[in-house]
Amino acid sequence: MGSNIWGSLGLGDNTPQNSPQIIPQLCHKNVKQFFIGSDFVLAITEDNRTYGWGYNEWGQVGRYPCKEFLVPQEIAILSDQDVCQISCGFFHAMALTGDGRVYGWGCNQNGQVGTGGPRFEVREPTQLGFNGGNSEGNIKSIFCYLYSSYAITRDGKAYSWGANSFYNLGHNSAVDIAIPTLIVDIVGVHRVCSGGAYTYFLTNDGCIHFSGQCGNQQDGYSYVKSPIVLFNDQKYQDIFGVFSRLANGFLVIVLGGDRLLQVDKDLDVCLKELDTMVKVRSEYCVRYLGQWHESDDYYIRMELCADSLQNILELKPQLFCRESEEAMNSVEYFISCEIFKEVLTCIQSLHNFQPPITHRDLKPDNILLAKNVQNVSDFGLATIHEHTSEKGLPKYCAPEIAGNQGYSHKVDIYSLSRIAELDIFCIDLEQLSSDMYTSDCEVVNECMTELVKLLLSMQSDDPDHRPECALVLNAPTDWAIDIGTVEKDPEYDKNVAYF
């Protein structure tokens, strides 16, 4: 029943029907599913045979183009192909076989059929190639929407092609694509759903990824050019950031637990931070979970972290009943070394990217504790192998930044050394260059001598002489005290609760 324009009801005419009618040609065919396009219909039977009828100007019912087919007819080319799934776009369609092959046909003005070349129409089902990812015969599901198409392989790779004016295909490009093309920025895809100008991808780990157009006509549109994570509540709780439009720029509001922090930032700075966070995927970096736009507000979702290194280091002397000028005992020194090693690992995870990511604004406030692992956060000044004059907090900044000189990721090595000197170990390198450390534990004094040498090398005026984090971690750690020595210290029994 319904409109029946172009014979889409399959009753042999194009007369509208106000009540359900039997389709004689499909009686006793054991139809298991119908698929609806724009005024054309496809059906698949229990024995995997395919029928089509209705509007057919582009060959979308699987036969030579004509205005309409008024009754269902079997699509002969697909008769022996064991078709198990069908999907319809606006004027095109795809079929998936039991052995993982894909056929496409119909309107191809935007490349949505996937056969390549300047073919405006594909008049009969044509097998598609997925050679770019060696996935031909490995497809597990297909999806058409309007003028674009998607396919997912058995191992979770996603392909897309067709209309792409809104970056909806997930390829960091707004050019239409005429053949199935692998989406390189996402893996483990389980399902895909498109709204034409945007696409959602559900991955096996429960994450929803988004690419395409967002915003509204009144406030303007923006585009997510390649898939980013929106939601992952199964693994993380939330903190929210909101960029609220002000006359003089944007206000960033970060909500974390019962804390509210307001910081004025330019929108370009905020979006730059988002762009860097999207690229960073590491267990040692605070995970960016997504962003969205509502009216004049821009929201960020990030992994919830329990505390910052700044807060932990402020409490550390109190826990060990140590005055600010006193030397550490072996237990506190051991814990300080472990903190330093973990921060080194965090920064090395950034520098391991190709090209390296330079944070440029390292300080204890930007090193957070998440699930007992320290994470790096606040990528507002972070850069991917760029050299500019933007500065972080002066007391942690390398001299080449302060001097507006060109620089590399070695500025992070300098900052990390300053954090170790001022905050983790609470020492004065200049003083200890001539004087001995005065801990009651002689081993700590010996280790501190080596630590001073290391930190001085990390603060070298010549960036090339600063050791990489990986070298510091992998070289013999004469500056670190071992747990066996700590356990022999009389102070160990008093402080064992802090391990």
Same domain, 135 and 9: yes
The pLDDT value given to residue 127: 93
Is 225 part of any domain?
Answer: no
Same domain, 371 and 447: yes
How many structural domains comprise the chain? 3
The pLDDT value given to residue 294: 52
The pLDDT value given to residue 74: 94
Same domain, 277 and 350: no
The domain of 293 spans: 238-303
By residue count, the chain amounts to 499
Same domain, 162 and 251: no
Rounded CA-CA distance 375/38 in Å is: 51
The pLDDT value given to residue 198: 87
**Domain endpoint, select from 257, 280, 303:** 303
> CA torsion 162→168→171→174, rounded to 10°?
80
Is 228 part of any domain?
Answer: no
The pLDDT value given to residue 242: 30
Residues 6 or more apart whose CB falls under 8 angstroms from that of 26 comprise 10, 43, 51, 72
pLDDT tens figures, 123-133? 899 999 986 55
Is 353 part of any domain?
Answer: yes
Same domain, 196 and 281: no
Is 396 part of any domain?
Answer: yes
Same domain, 295 and 156: no
The pLDDT value given to residue 271: 60
Is 423 part of any domain?
Answer: yes
pLDDT tens figures, 205-247? 777 888 998 876 666 778 888 888 875 443 322 223 333 332 2
Same domain, 298 and 360: no
In this prediction, the residues of the chain whose per-residue pLDDT falls under 50 are 232-265, 379-382, 384-389, 497-499
The structure's pTM equals 0.49
Same domain, 192 and 243: no
Same domain, 364 and 253: no
> What's the token pair of residue 8?
């889409």
CA distances 82 to 27, 44, 122, 130, 193, Å, are 21, 10, 21, 19, 25
CB 285, CB 377: distance < 8 Å: yes
Rounded CA-CA distance 213/198 in Å is: 5
Same domain, 266 and 140: no
The pLDDT value given to residue 458: 95
What sign results for the dihedral spanned by CA atoms 466, 468, 471, 476?
Answer: positive
Task: Give the end-to-end CA distance of the chain in Å, rounded to a whole number.
Answer: 73
CB 167, CB 190: distance < 8 Å: no
